[in-house]
Structure 1
Amino acid sequence: MKKLLTLSVMVILLLAFGKKSKHTETPQTLAQSQPNILLLIGDDIGFGDLGAYGSEIKTPNMDLMAERGVRFTNFRASPVCSVTRSMLLTGCNNIEVGLGAFDYSVYPPTRGKPGYESYLTKNAVAISELLNDAGYEVYKSGKWHLGGEEEIGGGTPLEWGFTKEFGILSGGSNHWNDLAMTPDFKDPNGLNVKRKEHWTLNGEHYDRPEGVYSGEIYTNQMIDFIRDGKSKNKPWFAYMAFTTAHFPIQAPPELVDKYYEDYLNLGFEGLKQQRYESLKKHGLISKSANEAPSNPLTHKWEELSEDERKIQARVMATYAAMIEDQDRRTGQIIDYLRESGQLDNTLIIYLTDNGPEGFEATHPKTGNPEMAKWIESQFDQSFEAIGTANSIHTIGVSWANAATGGLQWWKWFIGEGGVRVPMMIVPPGGFTEGYERAGEISSATASVKDIPMTIMDYAGIEHPKTEYKGRKIVAPSGVSIKPFLEKKSNQVRTEKDWYAFELFGNCYVVQGDYKAIKVRTGMFGDGEWHLYNIVEDPSETVPLERDQPERLENMKTLYNSYAEANNIMEVDSEWNPFKGASQ
């Protein structure tokens, strides 16, 4: 009788709990075992641009991610947007999946050659497809920049396994309205008019409202997607591809003023020095790291007029505001996940796609006269208009150079300033107490190719390697970071896990702590191979080829094997990709 009474009480309690759960949020871990995955991608944001990476820019939500997860300081993307994204979604080398070139700049002899399509090809399977197959809801909000546009070719997100999508197919757009960031260079009248960007929601045309900032519109839509996924009681993968801080440099005005006076006082050189010192102080670069030397393409602050300085300071303050807005949007998503009981069962990864954008339309060596003409005739470039929808400033070579602190070069270039970017991972449960590696700053060697393999590892998905649904595919060369995150290993990549990269005829190999690099004269290099220890010497100022000639020769051999296997074409030593390039 006593046992029967106890059983009755348990049944009543279970029924009561069941009724309550219909009206309150409960942790999603009760309903699903596979983690949700939130992949956050910043656009054209440099190694020294986040508070968690020593910056003066306020990024409290990203700082919290750094405190609860791991910050990586020896992580590389590619030097340009779409090339990074091709590796980020496949785990393969860019040349293997069509991004040996990208839509804004193609070396003419490579046109039509395999590997140089400039859009993501079906030579690979994307993690979005594999996650979809495994029962995940798969969302994309923001930019795509992997094809799907009529004039480029390739597929849209819905053709790559995404179940819901929102945003643009191109590499960027106006942050306040539906205008494109560049003219139509093929239109004879293109430099005299503004053109519209094509927006879609789940494959259908979307009328983008004016006056809503890009970070707000992309984030709100992503949260709507995630909310829908939770109602289906299914795990989800959210590919949150912000367009901040890609040009045009525009931001909510209330965030701009707080930075203006500091940048006016610091100037280009002052900010470069301040960030270099901050990176060293916070252990984000080696204590032995040298200052990066002055770059011959940059301008001197002292040579600017007072009005020019004011404009430049306002532009950089707007850029900082773009990054702060991205941080707020990141916080908005994390807050929603916390409130809806999903945060503890979500893997969160943040990275940026390349270094800061140094494009400057009027620059004599890297500019674009047609773009400069379009900006001058179609937009208001006055001090008062900076940050608004009718202004199309870029931060230019000098602020881009300053943004990376102790590194050299910026977007488009394979120096560390162009390819070494912030990357943070918070594993499921990391926002609660007890994650062993919480707050660590790691110099473990890692590549953007490793992110998709890490995601699949957490989701419990095996890669099909060389065949997917009847089509031949390239096996990925990325490795999972999960064993490192779980303290089963102290490395992500050993010296055996070397990786190589090439774009525009410039190339490098990373093996352990070392990087062998060759840059053509057409992109301001000397065309010779050099060797650096990029952990001790991230500014790449202490060449080691004379001290370690055998290591350099071995790494050159590795690169040559990579180039031969992938039919990488030689590029004329003097070719300049900026001529005719629009980004």
Structure 2
Amino acid sequence: MRLNFLLSILLACFQGLASLPRHVSAADSKLSDSRPNIIVVLVDDMGYSDLGCYGSEIETPHIDKLARQGLQFTQFYNQGRCCPTRAALMTGLQPHQVGIGHMTAPPGQPLGIDGPYQGYLNDNCTTLAAVLKSAGYRTLMTGKWHLGADRQECWPLQRGFEQYYGCISGAINYFKPGGNRGIVEGNEPVDTPAGWYATDAFTDKAIEYISQSNEAGDSPFFLYLAYNAPHWPLNAKVKDFEKYRGKYSAGWRALMKARQERQRASGLLADATEPAPHHGPKWESLNDKQRDRLDATMAAYAGCIDSIDQNIGKLVEFLESTGQDENTVIMFMSDNGACQEGGKFGSGGEAMVRNPPLATTDGVRLGLQWAEACNTPFRKYKHFVHEGGACTPMLVQWPAGIPASSRGTMVRQTAYLQDIMATVIDVAGATYPTGIPACQGKSMLPLIAGEDSPIHTEPLFWEHEGNAAVRWNDWKLVREYEQPWELYDLAHDRTELHDLSGEEPQLRQELIAKWEAWATETGVAFPERFNMYEFLKHKDK
């Protein structure tokens, strides 16, 4: 039995030390105010194990190169869902603080409320773009915004970006966006030409914007490249789909086993770590037609990720051609775990990949069984704040900033989205504005500079759809909505399989009290959750 009172005292002491000015190493000091170019790449609905460097069979050599030449984070957290993640990333605050505690309102369906769940970015926050623009950066964005569609005051150009091309709302068709989910450049809708493909188009436009920035002068640039892939509909190009067709015919458990073996071989997964089991049916219990369709849906998903990797290669090659690769920070991550929203077995198959419906978000979906496998070794998936829903791959490459001795190593310290605001302020010599809530993040610059000490000793908090968590050093309290709180020692149980609530009741109660205090202060709806879709259903009656 652990000595909880002693643990609490020690942790409180560490918290007090964390509030003091942090030690700045020589390397850290050299990187501060160095004003590199900054690129943040966010992909959509990609699982923890879906990159080669995180154990995948999907071919991602260009992204893997970022890991080999940079840093690979093993405990980096998002907010468990599209919109809250984008809100936290863009503002450095909790999503509830900026009006997106659940989701953004669908196009043409304003919620008609104000506050933590109003469904669009409020005015009591800044953005990465606004902060960096004020520091002399050129601010560029391509891809998925998803922070409020109906109020143009919330759009990228009104929130600090100088150039924007992409989709203001959420999911889009990769080949031909349509309806109220079209493409915008600046503040104006634009048509997409024949042969258009979202992943390619967002990269090509990003390169065009960087080129224009280079021609305009020597100011550094900030690029936010937010791919909609691999979010549904899984509109893989046929050639990318065919590359993986048949590779998933052994099923989800075989996939998980192979990925876990690669994770152990790389050191990502400790030998003693017990992976979370798969909860679906045995692959052999399905008939041939079912297995064939499921192989096709997973191949479509893999093809979408392969296309992202091709485009990261194109972007890095461009930076190399302009001599900007050395002093450009690239941060790559996903907005949540793999997506289970297509039902247990997903939807669509090969015919839909080869002949996809256009101008609609109907199409192939991955489904729960594959999503659970894609997040191995963890439990759960998108919507949840267990590790499978909220822990994302995170890579940082910066040749001029990361010490040679650190390149290709894993960062095992905890960090989360809000830290990106603090980090870019640190490296850019920017200033966070006064008169708004304080940034919730800590600079990751010590970790980038090669230090191996925690940047967080204070508790970190989550809530989405009533699913909730608090992480305090190695302890994590987590629950599903309307289910009991669970307590895990992540230092010895990273996959959240052995609930210690019975052994540590005092610590459990202490963490519950901390979460409830935070939730009350932040405006979180509890014990009854706020769900936008339920709200709209009752509103329309």
Q: Tell me the TM-score normalized by structure 2.
A: 0.87
Residue 332 of structure 2 corresponds to 350
Distance 1:356 1:270 in 2: 18
Query: Does residue 399 of structure 1 match 2:360?
Result: no
Structure 2 residue aligned with 1:547:
503
Displacement of 1:111 after TM fit? 6.9
Can you list the C-alpha shifts for 1:372-422, whole angstroms capped at 9, x where unaligned? Answer: 9xxxxxxxx453332543270100001101101111111111221111110
> Contact between 2:297 and 2:349, CA under 8 Å: does it hold in 1?
no
Q: Residue 470 of structure 1 aligns with which residue?
A: none
1:168 aligns with 2:139: no
> Structure 1 residues 348 and 512, CA, compared in 2 at 3 Å: closer, same or farther?
same
Aligned-partner residue type, residue 461 of structure 2: A
The offset of 1:50, in angstroms, is: 0.2
Measured in 2, the distance between the counterparts of 1:211 and 1:335 equals 23
Distance (whole Å) between structure 1 residues aligned to residue 533 and residue 74 of structure 2: 29
One-letter amino acid matched to 1:123: N
Asked if residue 156 in structure 1 is aligned to residue 119 in structure 2, the reply is no
CA displacement at 1:430 relative to structure 2: 5.5
- CA–CA distance in structure 1, aligned partners of residues 456 and 196 of structure 2: 42
Matches within 5 A, 1:101-500: 101-103=102-104, 112-147=113-148, 149-150=149-150, 155-179=154-178, 195=179, 197-232=181-216, 233-264=218-249, 266-295=250-279, 298-360=280-342, 381=348, 383-386=350-353, 388-390=355-357, 392-429=363-400, 435-464=404-433, 466-467=434-435, 473-494=436-457, 497-500=458-461
Are the aligned partners of 2:170 and 2:181 in contact in 1 as well (CA < 8 Å)? no
Residues 286 and 536 in structure 1, CA contact (< 8 A), matched pair in contact too: no
Change (3 A) 1:481 1:547: same
Preserved CA contact (<8 Å) 1:175 1:389? no
Say which is worse superposed, 46-55 or 436-445, in terms of deviation: 436-445
Quote the Cα distance in structure 2 between the aligned partners of 1:515 and 1:246: 28
Instruction: Tell me by how many angstroms 1:560 deviates.
Output: 1.6
- C-alpha distance in structure 2 between counterparts of 1:89 and 1:333, whole Å: 22
Decide whether aligned partners of structure 1 residues 362 and 549 sit closer, same or farther in structure 2, where only a CA change above 3 A counts: closer
Equivalent-residue separation in structure 1 for 2:376 and 2:364 (angstroms): 22
Q: Which has the larger radius of gyration?
A: 1
Q: Which moved more, 1:95-104 or 1:57-66?
A: 95-104
Instruction: State the secondary structure of the residue aligned to 1:139.
Output: strand
Judge conservation of contact 1:386–1:393 (CA < 8 Å) in 2.
Answer: yes
- Give the superposition deviation at 1:534: 2.5
Q: 1:103: how far off? A: 2.9
**What SS does structure 2 have at the residue aligned with 1:344?**
coil
Change (3 A) 1:540 1:553: same
Alpha-carbon spacing, 1:577–1:517, altered in 2? closer, same or farther (3 Å):
farther
Superposition deviation, residue 268 in structure 1: 1.9
1:238-280 Cα deviation digits (max 9, x unpaired): 000011101101112112223222201x212221222233223
CA distance in 2, matches of 1:440, 1:518: 32
Three-state SS of the structure 2 residue aligned to 1:516 is strand
Closer, same or farther: CA 580–311 of 1 in aligned 2, 3 Å: farther
**Residue 93 and residue 178 in structure 1: after superposition, are their counterparts in 2 closer, same or farther (change >3 A)?**
same
Query: Over residues 211-237 of structure 1, what are the superposed CA-to-partner deviations in whole Å (9 max), with x where a residue is unaligned?
Result: 322111110000000001111221100
Does the Cα contact within 8 Å between 2:331 and 2:396 map onto a contact in 1?
Answer: yes
Q: 1:231 to 1:225 in 2, by over 3 A?
A: same
CA distances 1:171-212 after superposition (whole Å, capped 9, x unpaired): 120111123xxxxxxxxxxxxxxx352211122221112332
SS at match of 2:170: coil
SS of 1:347 mapped into structure 2: strand
The whole-number CA distance in structure 2 between the counterparts of 1:261 and 1:64 is: 27
- Give the deviation of 1:113 after TM superposition: 4.6
My pick for the range that moved more, 203-212 or 339-348, is 203-212
* Residue in structure 2 matched with residue 85 of structure 1 by the alignment: 86
RMSD: 2.5
In the TM superposition, residue 128 of structure 1 has moved relative to its aligned partner by: 0.6
> How far 1:489 moved relative to its partner?
4.9
Q: CA distance change for structure 1 residues 33 and 515 in 2, over 3 Å: closer, same or farther?
A: closer
Amino acid in structure 2 at the alignment position of 1:511: W
Aligned partner of residue 398 in structure 1, secondary structure: helix
In the alignment, which residue of structure 2 is the partner of 1:502?
463
Q: Secondary structure at the match of 1:444?
A: coil
Distance 1:543 1:53 in 2: 26
- Which residue of structure 1 lines up, in the alignment, with residue 7 of structure 2? none
Residues 279 and 405 in structure 1, CA contact (< 8 A), matched pair in contact too? no
- The one-letter code of the counterpart of 2:262 is S
Q: Which amino acid aligns with 1:74?
A: Q
Distance 2:61 2:443 in 1: 28
* TM-score normalised to structure 1 length: 0.80
Structure 1 alignment gaps of length 5 or more = 1-31, 180-194, 373-380, 468-472, 522-526
The answer (yes or no) to whether the contact 1:66–1:439 under 8 Å persists in 2 is yes
Contact 2:39/2:329 (CA < 8 Å) preserved in 1? Answer: yes
CA contact (8 A) 1:69 1:437 kept: yes
The count of aligned residue pairs is 497
Deviation beyond 6 Å, 4+ runs, structure 1: 573-581
Following superposition of structure 1 onto structure 2, how do residues 524-563 of structure 1 map, counting pairs within 5 Å? 527-563=483-519
Is the Cα–Cα contact under 8 Å of residues 69 and 399 in structure 2 kept in the other structure? no
Q: Which amino acid letter does the alignment assign opposite residue 311 of structure 2?
A: R
Specify whether residues 387 and 441 from structure 1 end up closer, same or farther in structure 2 by C-alpha distance, changes over 3 A only. farther
Deviations 1:346-397 (A, max 9, x none): 111011110011112587xxx9xxxx9xxxxxxxx45333254327010000
CA distance, structure 2, for counterparts of residue 153 and residue 499 of structure 1:
32
1:119 touches 1:153 (CA, 8 Å); kept in 2? no
Secondary structure of the residue that 1:273 maps to in structure 2?
helix
Q: What is the SS of the residue equivalent to 1:546?
A: coil
* Aligned residue number for residue 189 of structure 1: none
Q: Does the CA-based 8 Å contact 2:134-2:430 persist in structure 1?
A: no
Q: Distance in 1 between matches of 2:297 and 2:536?
A: 24
Question: Which deviations, in whole Å up to 9, do the C-alpha atoms of 1:129-161 show, x marking residues without a partner?
Answer: 0111111110110110001x22x6751100001
**8 A Cα contact 1:119 1:154, kept in partner:** no
